Amino acid sequence: MSKIAWRPQLKMSVTLLVVVLGMLLVFSLALVLSLGLLRDISAQTRATAEEYLPELVRTQQDALKVEKISSYLDAAYRVQNAAEERQYRLLSQVLIHSFMLEQDDYLIAEANNIMFDIRELLSIRHTQRQLQQEMLDILNDAGNGSLDYYRGLLAGLPVQSIREPFISEPLQQLQALLPVEAYGELLYRVRFVVDLNLQLDWLVEDTHQRIEHLSAYLSTDAALKARQITTEVGKDALMVSNYFLILIALLIIFSVVILLSFQRLILSPVQELVHGLHSIENQGGQPITLRRVCFHELDVIRQAIEGYSQLMHRLQQANAELERLSQQDGLTGLANRRSLDQVIDVEVGRALRYHHPLSVLMIDIDHFKLLNDRYGHQIGDESLKALAEVLVGFAQRPGELAARFGGEEFILVLPETTADAAMRIAELLRERCQQIRMLPDGSLNLSVSIGVASFRQGVTDSAALLLRHADQALYKAKAAGRNCCRLYQ
């Protein structure tokens, strides 16, 4: 790594502190100069609120009262109970009397008119109930048992429902059942109630119009007051906005100066550090080296990133070595059992899909335990290494694999190889092993037994079965006297 020239470094914390103090100083000066203006604006806004807001609130409350009076009017018109009518009249009267405290002559006059209409409505309804009771008395005095249905009909019928279309048919039936004089009195009272209902309809409609006019008046008044408040507050808001626009302009100018000043000293180095951190994954064979930065704190980060890069480089090397060791037998250098399982599963799957031939050789060193016991483990290890060197020569094509299966057993995976070709390879391998001299005096040759199994659709269609068949063939070779090859049939 090339030597980097030393440059004096600034403390970023000190620099930022100076910048913050400068900003506070600028804003303090602006605040001191503007306190008088803000005080005037605040006083004007407070005066506006004290003058207009209470009136606006009262107007809104009056509008709500008018809506309640309208609902009480409708309820009083529809109820059938005199006690409930009086209750609604009292509620309306309480609301209407609250208008008397206002200083609005039109509002007071209209409220009195509405109250008069409500009283008139209740008076008419009282008269209707008296007439209804008199009609019941006429039917009771007639003493005719066939009039019970009409008595029940009249007793349960609301007075506001006694109208011409509804009452015409019962009247025609009663004309035949009542004496002429009694029927005439009944007819007079029925028509009186009908006329009063028409009068009530007109009265309720007129009262609703009064209420609508009063609501419109209050809404217009509220809108006018709201507009006045909006105008006054808008003036104050405009003054405040202009003032803050000046402050924002000062802030923008000061911020631009700060950004331009620190662009080269902070932002660019930080981007370079981030880029360096991202490039650690793709650093390749060598750790990364970053340019020294001005601020001490950022330079500490740079050093940490470089240290992390070096650590990652060492970890990658260690992982590569671990990956190699996890796939390789430590003594012979061949693939281990884990690697064998992965490869043979892939090859069996390919043979199943494409119906290609696949053969497996299982090789076992004859009398290996006796060899270890008589000549020592060193000779045993040398025999394993010698067999491994021979197997490597037989696994040169793509997909072929020589692996240590366990102990003195080895596996040779031969894709695209039929059973006959595998037997020829097994014989050649056995002969090659027999040529190996294990002792310096040449008195001991390496002898192996080989079991051969080939993939067959529906018979040997899994890696486990293929290895089991190769093991069974190896067992037959050992049973035949060792130093021979056998094919699983």
Whether 85 is catalytic: no
Condensed to tens digits (0 to 9), the pLDDT of residues 98-150 reads: 777 667 777 788 878 888 888 888 888 888 888 888 888 888 888 777 788 88
Domain boundaries, the chain: 47-237, 279-326, 332-487
Task: Tell me: pLDDT of 2 over 50.
Answer: no
Q: How many CB atoms lie within 10 A of CB 54?
A: 11
Q: How confident is the model at residue 337 (pLDDT cuts 50, 70, 90)?
A: very high
Torsion angles phi and psi, residue 410, rounded to 5: -130, 160
Task: Tell me: pLDDT of 31 over 50.
Answer: yes
Q: How confident is the model at residue 242 (pLDDT cuts 50, 70, 90)?
A: confident
Task: Tell me: pLDDT of 193 over 80.
Answer: yes
Whether the model clears a pTM of 0.95, i.e. scores above it, the answer is no
CATH number of the 332-487 domain: 3.30.70.270
Q: How confident is the model at residue 221 (pLDDT cuts 50, 70, 90)?
A: low
* Buried b / exposed e along 135-156 (16+ C-beta atoms within 10 A): beebbeebebeebeebeeebee
Mean pLDDT of the chain: 81
Which one, of 48, 36, 37, 50, lies nearest residue 241 by Cα? 37
Q: Which of 408, 409, 416, 431 is catalytic?
A: 408
Q: How confident is the model at residue 285 (pLDDT cuts 50, 70, 90)?
A: low
Q: How many CB atoms lie within 10 A of CB 293?
A: 22
- Map residue 102 onto helix, strand or coil: coil
Residues 6+ apart with CB under 8 A from 355: 457
Condensed to tens digits (0 to 9), the pLDDT of residues 66-109 reads: 777 778 777 777 776 777 777 777 777 777 777 776 677 777 88
Highest mean pLDDT, choosing among 113-127, 270-284, 431-445, 470-484: 470-484
